[in-house]
């Protein structure tokens, strides 16, 4: 039981490049979330999903897209990376809405 895993752990991009972050969970959770963490800002929700095939916008969705084609996977895409997207990205999942969220180890992304 690996819990929540994230790929990759580190990545450096140039402005304008694209990439996809992968989140996988093996706990059969319905809900999955993507957050970004910036210094002094806490965690802010980018997008979330309440089940396979569904996605919704969070607090800071601009510049990101997501897909939940399989229940266990939640992908975060950056189509044209910008320096403002330099951050640590966390994926989380929960069984249901009021339940505890379990976090992945994070992905540190730098956009030059």
Partner 1 sequence: AQKITQTQPGMFVQEKEAVTLDCTYDTSDQSYGLFWYKQPSSGEMIFLIYQGSYDEQNATEGRYSLNFQKARKSANLVISASQLGDSAMYFCAMREGLPLVFGKGTRLSVIA
Task: State the residues that interact with partner 1 by CB under 8 A.
Answer: 31, 33, 35, 40-45, 48, 50, 56, 58-59, 88, 90, 92, 97-98, 100-106
For residue 74, count CB atoms less than 10 angstroms from its CB and return exposed for 0-12, middle for 13-18, buried for 19 or more.
buried
* CA-based end-to-end distance of the chain: 36
Distance, CA of 8 to CA of 21 (rounded, Å): 7
Residue 17 or 30 with smaller CB distance to partner 1: 30
Q: Quote the least distance from Cβ 58 to partner 1, whole Å.
A: 6
In the complex, the smallest distance separating the C-beta of residue 42 from partner 1, rounded to whole angstroms, is 4
Distance CA 82, CA 92 (A): 24
- The nearer residue to partner 1, 1 or 14, going by C-beta atoms, is 1
Report the nearest approach of partner 1 to the CB of residue 106 (Å). 5
């Amino acid at each position: 039981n690996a819990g929540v895993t994230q790929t990759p752990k580190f990545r450096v991009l140039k402005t304008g490049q694209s990439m996809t972050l992968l989140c996988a969970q093996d706990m059969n959770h319905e809900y999955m979330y993507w957050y970004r963490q910036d210094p002094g800002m806490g965690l802010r929700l980018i997008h979330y999903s309440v089940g396979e095939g569904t996605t919704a916008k969070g607090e800071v969705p601009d510049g990101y897209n997501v897909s939940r084609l399989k229940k266990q996977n939640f992908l975060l895409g950056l189509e044209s990376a910008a320096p403002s997207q330099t951050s640590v990205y966390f994926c989380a999942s929960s069984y249901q809405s009021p339940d505890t969220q379990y976090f992945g180890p994070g992905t540190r992304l730098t956009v030059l």
